[in-house]
Chain A
Amino acid sequence: MATSQNSALLPSQAKFELKPPPYPLNALEPHMSQATLEYHWGKHHKTYVENLNKQIVGTELEGLSLEDIVVVSYNKGDVLPSFNNAAQAWNHEFFWESMKPGGGGKPSGELLDLIEKDFGSFDQFVEEFKSAAATQFGSGWAWLAYKASEKDKKLEVIKSVNAVNPLVSDYFPLLTVDVWEHAYYLDFQNRRPDYISTFMEKLVSWEAVSARLEKAKVQAAK
C-alpha cells in the first residue's frame, strides 16, 4: 500500500488536521489565484476534513491512518459513507503538494527515464495526461501513478471519478490534477484545457513527483 506522505494525524485526538499547502495561498499567482486557494483549500478541503472527523468518531476507523481509511472505506467499490470525505481529504493534500511556485518544466534523472520508457517521450506523456484530465467527464482527477508487480514496474496515466484515487487499485500515486470544476472555475471558468495546460507548464512540482517515485520504489521492494 502506498504511503507517500504524512497525514497530519494527532494520536491523542485521533482527528485529522487540515494541513496548509507548502506555500502561501497567493504563491501560485497568476496561474492559480489566491481566491481559488482560499476557497479550494479553506472551504472545500477543510469541509472534507471536518466532516471526516465527525464521521469516524466512535467507529473502528478512528485511529487508522488516512490512507488506511481510504482503502478500507472503498470496500472494493461498495463504498462506505466515509470514503468520499477520506479520499477527498487525501486527494487535496496530495494535490497541493503536487504544485509549487515557479513549477513546470521537465523532470530529470530516473523519473524522466521511466517516463520516456513508458510513454515514448516526455511530450507524449504530457499529451496523455492532459487528455485524461480533459476527458474525465464531470468531476474527478487525473493521475500519474506507479505500479510495481513481480514482472514489471511501470508508470501509467489514470483518470478517476469524483473522489476515487489510485490507492484503491494498489497503485502508487505520483502526481495529480484536480478537475472538479471548483478547482478551476474562478480562474478559467469553462476552459478546463487551459487550466490543465497552465498546471503542466507553470505549477507541477517535479521534485515532489521524483520524491514520491523514490518512496514508491522503496515500498515496492518490501
Chain B
Amino acid sequence: MALRSLALATRKTLTLGLNSTRLTQSRALQTFSLPDLPYDYGALEPAISGEIMQLHHQKHHQTYITNYNKALEQLHDAIQKGDSSTVAKLQSAIKFNGGGHINHSIFWQNLAPIREGGGEPPKGSLGWVIDTNFGSLESLIQNINAEGAALQGSGWVWLGLDKELKKLVIETTANQDPLVTKGPHLVPLLGIDVWEHAYYLQYKNVRPDYLKNIWKVINWKYASEVYEKESA
C-alpha cells in the first residue's frame, strides 16, 4: 500500500514537472525575421529585375513575416486564455502569412546568379530521376511552365518529391498554401512564385515569358541537395 502511494506521488510530481516545463517553453514565443538573400538584388538580371527582387524581398516577404509574427502572438494569447474561437479564427492568417514566409524562404534559395550556378542543369541523382520521370529536363520545364501559366489568380508551381511514392511531382498551390497542403508526404524541391508581384513590373501580363526566363537563374544545386537528403 505504502509503495503504491509512493509510486502515485512520484508520478504526479513528474507530471507536474513536465507541465511546468511545457508552460515555460510556451512563454518563449519565437519570432521570425527576414532572411538575407544570398546574392544582390540585381544579381539575377536580366531574368528578374533588381527592382522586383528588392520589392519582393523587402516589402512582400517582410510583410508576411510581420503579419505571421503578429498572428502567432495573438494565437499564443488565445491559447493561454483558452479562447478557442479566436484560435480557430486565426488559422487562415497563420496559413496565409506563415505560408508566405515558408514559400519565399525556399524561393530565394531556388534562385542563383548565373555566375554562381544559376541555370546549370541538375547533375547526379536528381538529374537522373528527372530524365527517368519526365524524359528530359526540357520536358519537365515545359510541364512546370504549362501548370504555372494556367494557374488562375495567385499561387505557386512546385517541383516536389513525394517521399512515400518515391517520385517527383509537379503541383500547384493557391495563394500562399505551402506544398505540404497538397499532400503530407510532399517535399518542395523548387517553387516558382506566380503571384503577379513576382513578375509584373518587368513582364506585365505575359506570365509565360517570366516562366521561360526564370530557368536561367534556377539554382538546381539547392534542389539536388534537398532531393538527396530527402530520398536517402
Report whether B59 and A139 are in contact in the complex, using a CB–CB cutoff of 8 Å. no
Report whether B204 and A39 are in contact in the complex, using a CB–CB cutoff of 8 Å. yes
User: Nearest B residue to A83 by beta-carbon distance?
Assistant: B152
Report whether B205 and A182 are in contact in the complex, using a CB–CB cutoff of 8 Å. yes
A107 to chain B, nearest CB (A): 31
Report whether A189 and B55 are in contact in the complex, using a CB–CB cutoff of 8 Å. yes
Please tell me if A186 contacts chain B, counting CB pairs below 8 Å: yes
Given A161-B153, A190-B60, A182 contacting B55 (CB threshold 8 A): no
Q: Which residues of A contact B155 (CB under 8 A)?
A: 138
- Complex CA distance for A137 and B196, rounded to whole angstroms: 13
- Complex CA distance for A200 and B59, rounded to whole angstroms: 24
A191 to chain B, nearest CB (A): 8
A42 to chain B, nearest CB (A): 9
Please tell me if B96 contacts chain A, counting CB pairs below 8 Å: yes
Using CB atoms and an 8 Å cutoff, list the residues of chain A in contact with chain B. 39, 43-44, 47, 84, 137-140, 161-163, 180-182, 185-186, 189-190
A92 to chain B, nearest CB (A): 13
Given A47-B205, A182-B205, A190-B60, A138 contacting B154 (CB threshold 8 A): yes
Given A137-B96, A138-B154, A162-B152, A181 contacting B205 (CB threshold 8 A): no
Interface size on B, residues (CB 8 A): 20
Known A44-B205, A186-B201; further 5 A-B contacts with Cβ < 8 A = A137-B92, A139-B153, A181-B197, A185-B200, A190-B63
Using CB atoms and an 8 Å cutoff, list the residues of chain B in contact with chain A. 55, 59-60, 63, 92, 96, 152-155, 174-176, 195-197, 200-201, 204-205
B192 to chain A, nearest CB (A): 16
A52 to chain B, nearest CB (A): 14
Q: Which residues of B contact A190 (CB under 8 A)?
A: 55, 59-60, 63, 197
- Complex CA distance for A162 and B195, rounded to whole angstroms: 12
| 28 A-B pairs with C-beta separation under 8 A | A39-B204, A39-B205, A43-B205, A47-B205, A137-B92, A137-B96, A137-B175, A138-B153, A138-B175, A138-B176, A138-B195, A139-B154, A161-B153, A162-B152, A162-B153, A163-B152, A180-B153, A180-B196, A181-B154, A181-B195, A182-B196, A182-B204, A182-B205, A186-B200, A189-B59, A189-B201, A190-B59, A190-B197
User: Nearest A residue to B92 by beta-carbon distance?
Assistant: A137
A139 to chain B, nearest CB (A): 4
- Complex CA distance for A180 and B196, rounded to whole angstroms: 8
